[in-house]
Structure 1
Amino acid sequence: MNADLITKEFRLKPEDMNLPLSCYYINSSHNTYLNGHQILLARQFSVNQKCESSLEMYRSVLLAGCRSIELDLWDGDEGFPVITHGPHSLQKINTLTLKSVCYVIRDYAFKTSDYPLILSLENHLSAQQQQVFVETITDIFGDTLVRTPLADFPLEEGTRLPSVARLKRKILLKGSVGDEINMVIKQSTTWNHKLIESVEKLKIDHKNLLEDSFKNLDRKLELKINTKKRVLGFGGESSFKKQYLALKRLSSNNQLIPNFLKMINYCQNSKRMELQMPDFLMHSGSEQKIDKAISKNSSQVIQFCQRHLLRVFPEVNRICSSNFIPCFFWAAGCQMVALNFQTNGLAMQMNNTLFEENGRCGYLLKPKILREKEFNASIYATNLLIANCVSIEVISINCISPFLSQKKVNGESIAHSINVVVDLYDLPQDSQRDKHKTTGIIVKNELCTVLLEDSRQKFVFDKIIKPEIALLHIKIMNKNNGELFQRFIPVHKIQPGFRHIILRNNANKSVGPANVFVKIDVNLHVPITEKRSDAYTNPLKFLEQLKLEEEHQQLILSQENNETLENEIFDQWNQKKQSFNTVGESIDEESDDA
């Protein structure tokens, strides 16, 4: 009755950190600087959320083990770059100076993890302020910044990306490259990087705002927006002109200076996603775009991710900083699934659970079938993995009552009715939600609540296709179906037997000693139609049956004119016949004597 998971498996494994960068899941953040909503407009519909840029977000995200953070760079009024969700004349969100952000990154980049930090740049700087940017980060980051390719990992076609261990305590810059790649042929083919920022998601967002088109918003929001158009800032011709010029600037490609270009090396973003591209070219796309690519040809996406990085970010219509479910993209090998860290909930709980492994260093080795080309895996393939069968029986709920509100009627406390729900997150068609539930009553000051025998149920998940990625989610729900406590458990790290599962809150933080006592069984999935299912459930019986089948097969394959075999059969028959006659004669003699 000890830990619910194999705790030693969560320790850092330095021996697993010597593969190329593309072989790992990377803990990634989207619009890291934002605390709250993506645009000010969204504040009209949620009074509890902010919409501001904050240095504290960079600090907290880095301390949480995130290894890829985002910087949106804009020209500052005083000649120094700023970071915000711009353009400022349109969005009107406060700005952070580049220097202040860089100092926070320098101080906290390697507090939680020693492994490389990737700065995802969205560049809207003029040529003059690009030079200021280069000078600033060079001065503050010093030798930790990878300004040029490593000597043993040149930017050449056929050269793999450096390993995570090789880039230890280093900072990489990620930027976008255009459709045309300039090549300089020397002794080998070398690719020069040409940085052209792709800002399609922002252009769509801002055009929707300027043109008063709300195609990507919910109908409920659209009705409210129509009554509150003043929040768009159309205060007159001068105001509209500023916003128009800002949008025009946003849509244009800036002239990029050579000093800026050469600092983007191992994480050059391309608009294309082609297998024959050099390994240092990567791709970024919205959740919908990458989802379509996976649904159309998941094998190609998996093969692309075996040698190249792929970043997935939330769709532009998530103006309230909501998140998408990341499991589907992890199953396709996508390394950088960027989430809004400021929003607690299901997606961030999954993300935190995944990156608890490997010492919370922010890098987790992908399953072998997603790393090696010879498997030619598909996200829907079931023949390359051995599915698991997991059953969970909830026995008792412990130490929860002190955390519940105490309601009284006539001076007496009211008992709380709760539900224990267990969900499975695997592939979309194999996930199970709200199907397995049992009930219990929590009484005040009772630290242990044992469920009645008739309410205890065994929750059976018969076929978990991808156990290395699948997650079980245990939730404690109130009578109004509101979540009180929860816990995600990786299927491949679960321990069978009687276990205390420590519960967590919505922010995935442990809630004191609150736990659920369960009995867990883990087995291999055996299809009902499997001819030799005993090979898994009863191996001794299977071997005995296999031996009989082999002997029978030898008899069948024997030639009909095999005289030795015929003589053996004839001799056996004579022996049996003789013994039969002997027994018969003895019986006759006994009857005569009688």
Structure 2
Amino acid sequence: MPKFPVKPPAGSSPNRRHTFNVNGTEAISSLKRALNIGLFLAPTVIHLRGDGVPGGKKDLYLSAAIQRPLRKLFSDLCRGAPTLDRKSFQNFLEVEQGEPPDEVSTALTKDTYGFGQFLELWWIKFGLEIEKPISIDDKDLTKPISNYFIDSSHNTYLPSHQWGGRATVETYKRALRQGCRCVEIDVWDNDIAPPPGGSLAGSAGGTPRSERSHKFSKNTLHTAAAHIKGAMDDKIEQTRQFLGVEKVHSKSPRCSQFDVFGPSPDCENNLTLCPADTNEKVDTEQPLGRWKTGLPRDEPIVMHGYTFNQPIGFRQVCKAIREVAFETTHLPIIVSLEVHALSEQQESMVQIMKEEWAGLLVEKPHETCPNGQMPRLEELLDKILVKVKRASLSPENSMAAGSLSPKATVADDDTASEDDRSTKRPQPKVPICENLSSLGVYTHSEHFANFESSSAKIPSHIFSISEDKILDLWKSKRDELFAHNRHFFMRAYPKVTRIDSSNPDPSQFWRKGVQMVAMNWQRWDEGMMLNKAMFSGEHGWVLKPTGYRGHNDESCGRITDPPHRTFDLLVTVLAGQHIPLPDGMPRHKSHSLRPLVKCELHIEKAEERSGNLGEGVIKLRPIELKKQTSCGKTDHPEFGMENRKLWFKGIPKIEDSLSFVR
């Protein structure tokens, strides 16, 4: 069964009842209310007339399978009458659906409604239209950028799992087109091609490339893995051609799990394990296991170090980002750099970014933004921000602490990197050159020591912390963690064991105020469903709820506590259509299919809210967060009156916009 991530809107009624129809062929992934219904073009049975004006409502055609349960609902509401009277319709929308009374009274302008008019209002006006992307003109862009949740990706260059595969620029394009506003680039020295004599040369800080020792170093061991992987791929390909065996990938069940759109039988247009999923004819798509890659030797590469991942060029990534950066929205992008390249190619990185992102790259503070204050989101439209570590500056060359500039403090002592997730090999410390560091204007990386350190008070700093570490901090430093995230950026990234590109539940970090939860967009799982629900139609930036934002956002001059309330939710499941048959089940056996609908809530539990996640927690009344219907019959099931209502009652202390229904 497909699963549907949805979230209720901020300010919506706490007592909601929802009736919906399930369609297995395709489903809306998220709505702004706990409501999920599918609309699918099908053979003509009923015609909902549009108004005929350009840009107006379109004609809709519903199949008999979809129409049948909807007609039954309409008939039940009419209670024997041929049409639905206004009072009954109003009662259905307000009581059963939980719609705001003022919106209902405005929408209902007639005394009676036929079936088509009923569907047009209920299914479209109070259903599908709320899934439309919010106009950027209707979003509140007046708050400091640290007061927003940001749609973020992890190791964006990877198309599948974390330890192998071929990096590609297509993953950046797809993520950005789908609303991602924080992408990650791991940058390394380009030592992929050997020097004369055939050995591999490692980069050494301060040593001219022509004079470097022709031997392995810590900074080039990652290229050895790429060579081994490439050689293996070449041998497999030669054997396959010799035996006349065709490549098999599009029918594999593994294809669907690496798909940000959800399960699909076709891998060609999705992010999958399939190696031939890009149509771009670029140098990086050549077999990188061979010595020559077509990448300029004086420009850095992008790859996952110390793995079997094969690289692409840093310039090509920058070109791809520029190409689609603001294709779907004008809201800014944050580029998170994990820098392993040494100073020579760091300077090359700066030059490339300035060339490829000319006119878009933020290189200095906004003229209207005073020192020590973060800019408003509206001041960064069509801009690219760089997140990078600070340069190693001597104390005497530093400015006063507390300045917005990343040059304001002494050298960063962060000797570890996110690549520690993929290996226990000691990571060499790579000092960041001043020119590259200066690009971290509003978003510079800081090593987390504690919340009392001077670096934790600099407005532009970002702490990147693993998911496990954040959960540990929530146990021991709950108040400090939440207070920090009200004012300053924090980024969560997946733990070391997620080599299959799985994801955590991002909502548990949003509820702790974490602005950026870096998700593995390579895999469509529960975590990505919730991420999709959070940012659907929001242009990648979602304003934090009241109580989660910093003091300079509060008009009253003081911080208010997050609002919570008791929540009741009733979901009524009518029917389903086109439920996919299990693999191997022939069509004529569909009568034996017994589908059901599962529904679960993703909310902040009492023990999570208190920070006491271990033993000794006071046992509170257990809240049942998962329910399911009884089984239907066939791939077009209709769920009877029994067990089709999924009722969650009396759920305490809920923050609507950070609670989800799946």
Q: Give the counterpart letter for 1:28 in structure 2.
A: S
CA contact (8 A) 1:331 1:469 kept: no
Cα separation, 2, equivalents of 1:376 and 1:93? 47
- Alignment match, 2:446: 270
Task: Say if 1:203 and 1:98 are closer, same or farther in 2 by CA, change over 3 A.
Answer: closer
Matching of residue 385 in structure 1 with residue 598 in structure 2: no
Q: Displacement of 1:98 after TM fit?
A: 1.0
Q: Give the counterpart letter for 2:386 in structure 1.
A: L
Cα separation, 1, equivalents of 2:394 and 2:512? 27
Matching of residue 420 in structure 1 with residue 597 in structure 2: yes
Higher strand share: 1
**Which residue of the other structure, out of 339, 342, 367, is the alignment partner of 1:123?**
339
- Alignment match, 1:138: 354
Task: Say if 1:11 and 1:375 are closer, same or farther in 2 by CA, change over 3 A.
Answer: same
Cα separation, 2, equivalents of 1:425 and 1:179? 43
Cα separation, 1, equivalents of 2:660 and 2:310? 40
Task: Say if 1:423 and 1:199 are closer, same or farther in 2 by CA, change over 3 A.
Answer: farther
- Alignment match, 2:524: 344
CA contact (8 A) 1:175 1:268 kept: yes
The alignment partner of 1:92 has SS state of coil
Cα separation, 2, equivalents of 1:188 and 1:329? 28
Q: Displacement of 1:457 after TM fit?
A: 3.6
The alignment partner of 1:7 has SS state of helix
- Alignment match, 1:460: 648
Matching of residue 261 in structure 1 with residue 434 in structure 2: no
The CA deviation string for residues 326-354 of structure 1, in whole angstroms up to 9 with x for no partner, is 11111111100110001101000000110
Cα separation, 2, equivalents of 1:116 and 1:387? 36
* Correspondences of 1:420-569 after superposition (within 5 Å): 420-429=597-606, 435-443=626-634, 446=636, 449-473=637-661, 488=662
Q: Give the counterpart letter for 1:286 in structure 2.
A: S
Task: Say if 1:203 and 1:390 are closer, same or farther in 2 by CA, change over 3 A.
Answer: closer
CA contact (8 A) 2:179 2:539 kept: yes
Give the number of aligned pairs: 406
Q: Give the counterpart letter for 1:258 in structure 2.
A: E
Structure 2, unmatched stretches of 5+, are 1-121, 192-296, 552-557, 608-621
CA contact (8 A) 1:160 1:307 kept: no
Task: Say if 1:189 and 1:137 are closer, same or farther in 2 by CA, change over 3 A.
Answer: closer
| Percentage of identical aligned residues | 24
- Alignment match, 2:190: 76
User: C-alpha root-mean-square deviation of aligned residues, in Å?
Assistant: 3.1
Q: Displacement of 1:11 after TM fit?
A: 1.6
- Alignment match, 1:538: none
Q: Displacement of 1:9 after TM fit?
A: 8.5
The CA deviation string for residues 504-525 of structure 1, in whole angstroms up to 9 with x for no partner, is xxxxxxxxxxxxxxxxxxxxxx
**Which residue of the other structure, out of 49, 63, 70, is the alignment partner of 2:177?**
63
Task: Say if 1:22 and 1:442 are closer, same or farther in 2 by CA, change over 3 A.
Answer: same
Q: Give the counterpart letter for 2:331 in structure 1.
A: Y
Q: Give the counterpart letter for 2:189 in structure 1.
A: D
- Alignment match, 1:530: none
- Alignment match, 2:329: 113
The CA deviation string for residues 293-326 of structure 1, in whole angstroms up to 9 with x for no partner, is 1222333222212221110000112111111111
Task: Say if 1:83 and 1:407 are closer, same or farther in 2 by CA, change over 3 A.
Answer: closer
Task: Say if 1:180 and 1:298 are closer, same or farther in 2 by CA, change over 3 A.
Answer: farther
Task: Say if 1:145 and 1:201 are closer, same or farther in 2 by CA, change over 3 A.
Answer: closer
Deviates more, 1:328-337 or 1:185-194: 185-194
Task: Say if 1:179 and 1:427 are closer, same or farther in 2 by CA, change over 3 A.
Answer: farther
Q: Give the counterpart letter for 2:379 in structure 1.
A: R
Cα separation, 2, equivalents of 1:195 and 1:73? 20
- Alignment match, 1:184: 399
Task: Say if 1:101 and 1:465 are closer, same or farther in 2 by CA, change over 3 A.
Answer: same
The alignment partner of 1:200 has SS state of coil
The CA deviation string for residues 261-313 of structure 1, in whole angstroms up to 9 with x for no partner, is 21111111112353661211221100011111122233322221222111000
Q: Displacement of 1:369 after TM fit?
A: 1.0
TM-score in terms of structure 1 length? 0.62
**Which residue of the other structure, out of 25, 31, 51, is the alignment partner of 2:155?**
31
CA contact (8 A) 1:388 1:467 kept: no
The alignment partner of 1:419 has SS state of coil
CA contact (8 A) 1:407 1:414 kept: no
Q: Give the counterpart letter for 1:11 in structure 2.
A: I
Q: Displacement of 1:414 after TM fit?
A: 2.8
Q: Displacement of 1:99 after TM fit?
A: 1.1
Cα separation, 1, equivalents of 2:402 and 2:465? 34
Cα separation, 1, equivalents of 2:406 and 2:170? 38
**Which residue of the other structure, out of 374, 377, 383, is the alignment partner of 1:161?**
374
Q: Displacement of 1:91 after TM fit?
A: 2.0
The CA deviation string for residues 193-245 of structure 1, in whole angstroms up to 9 with x for no partner, is 5675846255644653x6xxxxxxxxxxxxxxxxxxxxxxxxxxxxxxxxxxx
Q: Displacement of 1:75 after TM fit?
A: 0.5
- Alignment match, 1:12: 135
**Which residue of the other structure, out of 292, 298, 307, is the alignment partner of 2:487?**
307
Matching of residue 94 in structure 1 with residue 310 in structure 2: yes
Structure 1, unmatched stretches of 5+, are 41-50, 211-246, 474-487, 489-594
Q: Give the counterpart letter for 1:60 in structure 2.
A: R
* Correspondences of 1:240-255 after superposition (within 5 Å): 250-254=427-431
Q: Displacement of 1:176 after TM fit?
A: 2.2
Cα separation, 2, equivalents of 1:179 and 1:137? 21
Higher helix share: 1
Cα separation, 2, equivalents of 1:325 and 1:93? 26
CA contact (8 A) 2:406 2:437 kept: no
Q: Give the counterpart letter for 1:370 in structure 2.
A: Y
Cα separation, 1, equivalents of 2:535 and 2:404? 37
Q: Displacement of 1:125 after TM fit?
A: 1.4
The alignment partner of 1:388 has SS state of strand
CA contact (8 A) 1:160 1:279 kept: yes
The CA deviation string for residues 105-130 of structure 1, in whole angstroms up to 9 with x for no partner, is 00011112211100101111111111
CA contact (8 A) 2:412 2:446 kept: no
The alignment partner of 2:654 has SS state of coil
Cα separation, 2, equivalents of 1:471 and 1:187? 36
The alignment partner of 2:179 has SS state of coil
Cα separation, 1, equivalents of 2:405 and 2:316? 36
Cα separation, 2, equivalents of 1:320 and 1:413? 33
CA contact (8 A) 1:306 1:370 kept: yes
TM-score in terms of structure 2 length? 0.56
Q: Give the counterpart letter for 1:364 in structure 2.
A: V
- Alignment match, 1:232: none
Cα separation, 1, equivalents of 2:522 and 2:642? 42
The CA deviation string for residues 156-198 of structure 1, in whole angstroms up to 9 with x for no partner, is 4xx3210111000000100124899954259989762567584
Task: Say if 1:128 and 1:289 are closer, same or farther in 2 by CA, change over 3 A.
Answer: same
Task: Say if 1:136 and 1:177 are closer, same or farther in 2 by CA, change over 3 A.
Answer: closer
Matching of residue 361 in structure 1 with residue 539 in structure 2: yes
Cα separation, 2, equivalents of 1:284 and 1:195? 17
CA contact (8 A) 2:461 2:488 kept: yes
Cα separation, 2, equivalents of 1:160 and 1:67? 22
Cα separation, 2, equivalents of 1:97 and 1:363? 29
Q: Give the counterpart letter for 1:425 in structure 2.
A: H
CA contact (8 A) 1:269 1:282 kept: yes
Q: Give the counterpart letter for 1:441 in structure 2.
A: G
